[in-house]
Amino acid sequence: MFKKSSLIVGILFFTVFVSGCGTNKLVENQIENNLEKNLGGNAKVDLNNGAINLQTENGSLQVGGKINLPEGFPSDVYVMDGQILSAMQNFGVNGYQVIISTTKSITETQTLYNEKLKNDGWNIQNTMNLGTSFILSAIKDTRSLSVSIGDGDEAGVVSVIITITDSKK
C-alpha cells in the first residue's frame, strides 16, 4: 500500500512540474507507462487545464477542474455541499477518498455529519474535537468511514476529507 501511495504522489509531483512546460501528451504517456508498469493493467491519464484524471483497471484519481464523485460512491455517505477538490477510488485501499471545500463552519459541518450518518444507519465509533478540527469514525456492515473536518487553505473555508474502506472487497 505504501509503495502504491508513494508512486502516485511521485507521479503527481512529476506531472505538475512537467505539465508547466507544455508537454501534456508526453507527460500523459509517461505516466500511463509508469502506472501500467508498477500497478499492472491499463492506465489512462488526462491532463487538461490544470486538472489531472487518472484511470486504471483498479482505481481512479481526479484532482483539479470539475470533479464528480467516483463511480459507485456509496449513497449512504453524506457529501457536504461545496467544491470537490479531489476524488479517489481504490488507490492503495479498497474504497474511496473525497476532499471537499465548503464555506460552512467546522461546528455546522460536524453537526451535519453526526446527524446524517446516524440517520443513514452508520454506527459512530469515535469523535475527537480538537478546536480547529474534528474527526469522526463510523462503521456500517463491512465498511469503515472517517470524516476529518478542519480549516482550509483560505480564511472562511473548511476542508472535509471523507475516507471509506471496505474489508469485503
67-169 CATH fold: Protein Transport Mog1p; Chain A (3.40.1000)
Q: Average the pLDDT over 56-78 and give the result.
A: 83
Residue ranges of domains in the chain? 1-57, 67-169
What secondary structure letter does DSSP report for 116? Answer: H
pLDDT for position 2: 42
Higher pLDDT, 39 or 147: 147
What secondary structure letter does DSSP report for 71? Answer: T
Residue type, 113: Y
| Neighbour-count burial for 37-75, b at 16+ CB within 10 Å, e otherwise | eebeeebebebeeeebbbbbeebbbbbeeebebbeebbe
pLDDT band of residue 120 (cuts 50, 70, 90) is: very high
pLDDT for position 71: 85
- Distance of alpha carbon 134 from alpha carbon 44, whole angstroms: 36
Q: Could you list the beta-strand ranges (E) of the chain.
A: 43-48, 51-56, 60-63, 83-89, 95-102, 123-129, 133-140, 143-151, 158-166
Residue 60 has pLDDT above 80, yes or no: no
Residue 121 has pLDDT above 50, yes or no: yes
Q: Average the pLDDT over 104-123 and give the result.
A: 94
pLDDT band of residue 118 (cuts 50, 70, 90) is: very high
pLDDT band of residue 45 (cuts 50, 70, 90) is: low
Residue 114 backbone dihedrals phi, psi, to 5 degrees? -60, -50
pLDDT for position 57: 73
Higher pLDDT, 54 or 40: 54
The C-alpha cell at 44 is 489512462
Per-residue model confidence as pLDDT tens digits over 126-152: 999 887 889 999 999 999 999 999 987
- Distance of alpha carbon 114 from alpha carbon 124, whole angstroms: 8
Residue 41 has pLDDT above 70, yes or no: no
Q: Name the residue with cell 483560505.
A: 154
